[in-house]
A and B are shown apart, each in its own frame.
Chain A
Amino acid sequence: MLAPAVSLVGVFIFLPMLLTIWLSFQAWSTQTGFGSARFVGLQNYTDLLSQLSVGRDFRQAFWNTAFYTGLSVIVILPLSVALGLMVYQTRVAGGHVLRTILFSTYMVPMIAVALVWSKLYSPNEGPLNQILGWFGFDRQLWLSSPDTALASIVLLNVWQQVGYFTVLVIAGLTQIPTSLYEAARIDGANPVQSFFGVTLPLLRRTLLFSAVIAVINAVQVFEPVALITQGGPANSTNVLTYYIRRVGIERAQGGLGSAMAVMLMLALIVVIVALFAFARRGDDDK
C-alpha cells in the first residue's frame, strides 16, 4: 500500500538529497556519471568561502536571497493579517469577492507574473511610472537599477502570493472562539485592544506556519530572475536557485553546485528552527 508513494519519494527526493550531500565533497561534472566523481574533501566549501569569483558570486547570491526572503516575509505576514481581517469582517459587504480576487493571483504561473510585471515596470511605456507621476513621485528604474531591482521582484512576489497567506489567516481566524471577543468587550476592550489581546496571540500558530511556508517559497524565486534580469543589473538579483542551477547544470560543476545547495539547506534548517524557537518562547510567556 505504501510502496508506490514511499519508493517514489525515496528515489526522487531522498536519494537525490543524499547524493547532493555526497557530491558536495566531490569534484564532479554534471555531464558524466556519478562514478566519475572524485573525492576532494572540503575543497568545494573552501572555494565558496574564498576570494575566487565563484565564491564572491555565491556569497552575493546568498545575501541577496536572505534579503529577498526577509523582505518578503516582513511584508507578507502583516499584510495577510490585514487582508484576512478585511475578508473575514461582516460590517460591510465584499469580503467574499475580495478573497476570490486575492487568491486568483496565486493561480497565475510565475512565468506569466514575471512577464506582465516586467512590462508594468517598464520605465517609459509602463503604467507604474505614469501612476507615480500622477501623485508627483519621481520615475523609478525598477528592474533596471541595482538599487531597486531585487525589491521590485519582492513586490511582484508579494502580489502573487499574498492571497494564499490571506486564506491561511482566515482559516486561523475561524478557529478563534467568539466567546473570547465577547469577554474582551465586556471587560471594556476597544477593537484595537481586542486585536492585540485576542486575535494576534491566537493567530500565533497560523503565523508561524505562514512564516515557514513564506521562507520556503521565497528561496525558490527563479522565473523573474532567469527570464527578466539574468541576475543583474550588477549581480543585484543573483539569487541562490538561479545561481545553483547556473553553476551546477549550465556550467556542469556538479560538486560546487551541490555544496551551494547544502549551504542553502543548512541555512533553511537554522531559520526554521529559529522560527519555531521564537514561537515557543511566546508560548512560555503566557
Chain B
Amino acid sequence: MSSVRKGRLFRASKAKPLDALLVAGIVLVAVVSAFPLIWMVLSSFKTPAESMQVPPVWIPGSVNFQAYGEVADVINAGRSFWNSAVIATTTTLGILITSLMAGYAFAKYRFKGRDLLFAAVIATMFLPPIVTLIPLYRLVGSIGLNASLAGVIVPNLANAFGVFLMRQFIAGVPDDLIDAARVDGASELRIVFTVVAPAVVPAIAALALFAFVYHWNTYLWPLTVLQGQVDNYPIVLSLSRLLSYNRGAMNTGLVMAGATMAVLPPLVMFLLLQRFFVDSIVSSGVKG
C-alpha cells in the first residue's frame, strides 16, 4: 500500500479542528460498534435480579459464571459445539477441494463452453438460499439425509464463491510451473494439490476462513433440514432454544452467556487471521 505518499497528500492541508473532529468520530464509531458485544459479555455475568433491574445495571456486581453452567445444562452445549465443528470443518474441507479443482480447470483449461459454464456457476452466487429451499428440502429428504448432519453438509460441499476466488488466484500461477510438472509425468490431480495449491496459500486461507465462519453461523438450512432433531443441532440452533427456556428478562443472563459462547470461535478465528479476510475481499470483490 502507498500509505507514505497518501499520508503526505492528506496532510497537505493542515487544520487542527478537523483532526479533533475526526478523532471524535473514530472513537464514537468504535464505541457504537463494540457496545452490543460488550453489553452481551457484561450481561452474561449478571444475576437474574441484576438483569431485571430498571433502569438497567451496566456493570454486574461480580463476575458470576452461573449462567454459563446453566447453558450447558439446558442445551447440551458440548454436543452442540461438536455438531457445529463437524458441520463447519467438513463443509470447509469439501469447498476447498472442489473449488481448487474447478478453479484450476476454469483458469488453465481451454474447452468449448468454458466461459458460459463459468458464468452459470457464478450466477448462483446471486441466488438467495430461500429460492431453492423448498425443493432442496424435499430432494435431500428423498436421498435419506433429512434430520442428519450429512443433510446439513452435503448440499454445501461446493459453492460459486469458492470457485470464483480460486479461479482468480490460480489464473496468476505461471503456466511454466504447471507444464514442468506435466513433463515430469504428474497427473492433473497431483498438479492441483502439490503444484497449484502451494502457490495460492493466502487464497486458500481466506476461503477456509470465509467458509468456516459462514457455515458456523448459518441458520436457515440447518433449521429446515434437521426438523427438530435437537441432538444434531449446531450451537446457533441451540441458542434459539435458550430464548424459549424462560421468557422475558428472567433469561437474559442465560441467553447472553449462550450468545457469547457461540460468537467466540468465529470471532477469535477472525482476529487471528484477519489479514487474509481483508486481502481476499480486496482482490475478489472489486477487481473481479
Query: Do residues A216 and B56 form an inter-chain contact, with CB atoms below 8 A?
Result: no
**Bound-complex Cα distance A272 to B128 (A):** 13
**A86 contact from B29, B121, B252, Cβ within 8 A:** B29
Interface residues on A, range: 35 or more
| Pairwise interchain contact A178-B262, C-beta atoms closer than 8 A | no
Interface residues of A in 165-199 (CB under 8 A from B): 167-168, 170-172, 174-175, 178, 181-182, 185, 190-191
Point out the residue from B30, B131, B216 that lies within 8 Å of A265, measured CB to CB.
Answer: B131
Select from chain B the residue with minimum beta-carbon distance to A122. B249
Known: A98-B30, A125-B56, A249-B224. A109 touches B132 (CB 8 A): no
| CB contact list, A235-278 vs B, under 8 A | 240-241, 244-245, 248-249, 254, 257-258, 261-262, 264-265, 268, 272
CA distance A167 to B284 in the complex (A): 12
Q: Which of B29, B142, B189 contacts A98 (CB 8 A)?
A: B29
Point out the residues of chain A lying under 8 angstroms from B155, CB to CB: 8, 12
A168 → B minimal CB distance (Å): 5
B266 close to A107 (CB less than 8 A) = yes
A152 at interface by CB-CB < 8 Å: no
- Distance, CA A2 to CA B29, complexed state (A): 45
A282 in the interface (beta carbon within 8 A): no
CA gap between A272 and B126 in the complex, in Å: 10
In the complex, identify which listed stretch (B17-25, B65-73, B177-185) lies at the interface while the others stay far away.
Answer: B17-25
Residues of B within 8 A of A168 (CB): 281, 285-286
- A249 near B137 (CB under 8 angstroms)? yes
> What is the distance, in angstroms, from A133's C-beta to the closest C-beta of chain B?
8
Given A86-B29, A107-B270, decide whether A268 and B135 contact each other with a Cβ distance below 8 A.
no
- Contact partner of A109 (CB less than 8 A), chosen from B27, B124, B219, B282, is B219
In the complex, whether A34 has a CB less than 8 A from a CB of chain B is yes
Give the docked Cα–Cα distance between A14 and B132 (Å).
9
With a cutoff of 8 Å between Cβ atoms, the chain B residues found around residue A178 in the complex are 2, 5-6, 9
* Given A30-B137, A30-B138, A34-B138: A109 touches B236 (CB 8 Å cut-off): yes
Mark each residue of chain A from 20 to 37: 1 if its CB lies under 8 Å from any CB of chain B, else 0: 100100000010011000
Q: Are A174 and B1 in contact (CB under 8 A)?
A: yes
| B3, B51, B135, B138: residue with the most chain A Cβ atoms closer than 10 Å | B135
CB-based nearest A residue for B191:
A1
Q: Across the interface, which residues of A come within 8 angstroms of B277, CB to CB?
A: 103, 167
With a cutoff of 8 Å between Cβ atoms, the chain B residues found around residue A90 in the complex are 3, 6-7, 10-11
Q: Which residues in B have their C-beta under 8 angstroms from that of A112?
A: 40, 236, 239, 259, 262-263
A8 to B138, CA, bound (A): 16
Chain B residues with CB below 8 A from A190, complex form: 13
Determine, out of A38-46, A50-58, A143-151, A217-225, the stretch whose residues face the partner at the interface: A217-225
Q: Does B62 contact A (CB under 8 A)?
A: no
Q: For A241, what are the chain B residues with a Cβ–Cβ distance below 8 Å?
A: 128, 130, 220
| Chain B contact residues: helix, strand, loop or mixed | helix
Measured CB to CB, the nearest residue on chain A to B282 is A171
Residues from chain B with a CB closer than 8 A to the CB of A119 are 39, 43, 252, 255-256
Closest to A90 in B: B7
Determine if A105 is an interface residue (Cβ-Cβ < 8 Å). Answer: yes
A244 touches B130 (CB 8 A): yes
In the complex the two chains form, what is the Cα distance from A1 to B114 in whole Å? 13
The reply on B116 being an interface residue by CB < 8 A is no
Known contacts: A4-B98, A101-B34, A249-B224. The answer to whether A212 contacts B126 by CB under 8 A is yes
Contact bitstring B110-142, A, C-beta under 8 A = 1, else 0? 000000010011001011111111111111001
**A16 with B282: in contact, given A1-B101, A5-B98, A101-B30 (CB under 8 Å)?**
no
Residues of A within 8 A of B11 (CB): 90-91
| A5-B121 contact given A119-B255, A216-B126, A261-B130, CB 8 Å threshold | yes
* Nearest A residue (CB) for B109: A1
Are A124 and B26 in contact, with the CB atoms below 8 A?
A: no
Q: Hey, which chain B residues are within 8 Å of A17, CB to CB? A: 124, 127, 131-132
Q: Known contacts A171-B286, A261-B134: does B39 contact A16 (CB below 8 Å)?
A: no
Question: Could you list 19 examples of A-B contacts with CB < 8 Å?
Answer: A1-B104, A4-B157, A9-B159, A12-B132, A23-B134, A91-B11, A98-B30, A101-B34, A107-B267, A111-B217, A111-B262, A112-B259, A124-B54, A130-B56, A245-B133, A249-B134, A264-B128, A264-B130, A265-B127
User: What residues of chain B have their CB less than 8 Å away from a CB belonging to chain A?
Assistant: 1-3, 5-7, 9-13, 18-19, 22-23, 25-27, 29-30, 33-34, 36-37, 39-40, 43, 51-56, 58, 97-99, 101-102, 104-106, 109, 117, 120-121, 124, 126-139, 142, 154-160, 162-163, 188-189, 192, 213, 216-217, 219-220, 223-224, 236-237, 239-240, 242-243, 249, 252, 255-256, 258-259, 262-263, 266-267, 269-271, 274, 277-278, 281-282, 285-286
A-B complex: 3 closest residue pairs judged by Cβ atoms: A5-B102, A19-B135, A16-B132
Starting from the known contacts A219-B128, A244-B134, 17 additional A-B residue pairs (CB-CB under 8 Å) come to A2-B102, A8-B155, A16-B132, A19-B139, A20-B135, A94-B27, A107-B217, A108-B37, A109-B217, A125-B51, A125-B56, A171-B286, A185-B9, A226-B223, A227-B240, A227-B243, A261-B130
